[in-house]
Structure 1
Amino acid sequence: MFVDYYELLEISPNANSETIERIFRYFAMRYHPDNRDTGNESRFSEIVEAHNTLKDPVKRAQYDVQYKHHLSLRRELSEEASDAKGLERDVVIQAKLLSLLYVKRRQDVNNPGIGDEELERLSGCPREHLEFHLWYLKAKGWIARIENGMFAITVDGIDRANSEHRRDVSVTRLLDHTK
């Protein structure tokens, strides 16, 4: 897991070596295990590791490459989290998966499963995204893996699909009456 040494030392990524040393000494005294009031051995170890990396120009340059990559991942995460359309697409994909599994169970109650690859193909959702949706639907108890390893809708999943369908029908009826 990536540790942000700049955040840990509460310094700017542009901090010079004198600033790094000054801040390190301050935190080292504060968190040293011998300090009875504020000593914290794990925090002290983290600070020493951050200091040893950032004080060495070669190690710092290598760390800065990882740091920039980490920043770009955080930026992407932030952008995706603020995109409401992404959440809407997720809801649609999850409803589609429930619907596919619902129909499969209704067609053949004794053989209700659909495999991972078939779900990927039918839903049009790439594998790396599908895993999230399958995890979510399983965690909610709406789908489950059956004995043969395939996914099938559960009773709770059928209830969920039916409640979603009723809501969609009610909205459609309301919209029809407004015309």
Structure 2
Amino acid sequence: MEASHFIDYYELLQISPNAEQETITRVYRILAARFHPDNPHTGDAEKFQLLNNAYQVLGDPKRRAEYDAELAIMRMQPIGVFGLKEFAVGIDGEANRRMGILCLLYNRRRTDPDKPGVSVLELEQTMTFPREHLLFTLWYLKEKDLVRQDGSSDFVITAAGVDWVEEHLPKNRLLYHLLKAAESGQTWSEVPPDLEGNRREDRTA
């Protein structure tokens, strides 16, 4: 599966990658009923097909193991939107990096509540910024009680951080793109077309 079309089925189902088979089946059935094309209120044929694809893979132990190996590789790849100049330049870049970290932590907390922490190394790899460029950002978020560190020193979003993300989502296009990609289960390797002209030059491949 090409990187730009890779679907994170766990995010699509909004379950932990460590979910038991019973959980996968139960969540799939609930969502399938909600998005079935025959449902007059919430039917969505495209979403229903994605859910079926997810269950065909995650419901088969062998296919799930193969998928998990591929997913582990994909999750270490940078998210394309962080290659935009909006994340790199001046005070605006700093503010957008805060937003980006909160978005990543928000999605991790929502999809993997048992393991909601994200390490500095993972943030480096996902955002393509060295940790030295993230330390001030993380300090600020901690001081504002938007994030905290867990027992293993990974960063976790707080309830205040969740409120911040949801309050700012409607009026921030970068935040909107980040969260909508996660919501649909899309793992990005490319920048959305409407933001393509704003890549930063120092982005690593």
Q: Kindly indicate whether structure 1 or structure 2 has the higher relative contact order, using CA contacts under 8 Å at least 6 residues apart.
A: 2
Q: Give the number of the structure whose alpha-carbon radius of gyration is greater.
A: 1
Q: TM-score, normalised by structure 2?
A: 0.40
Q: Which has the higher helix share?
A: 1
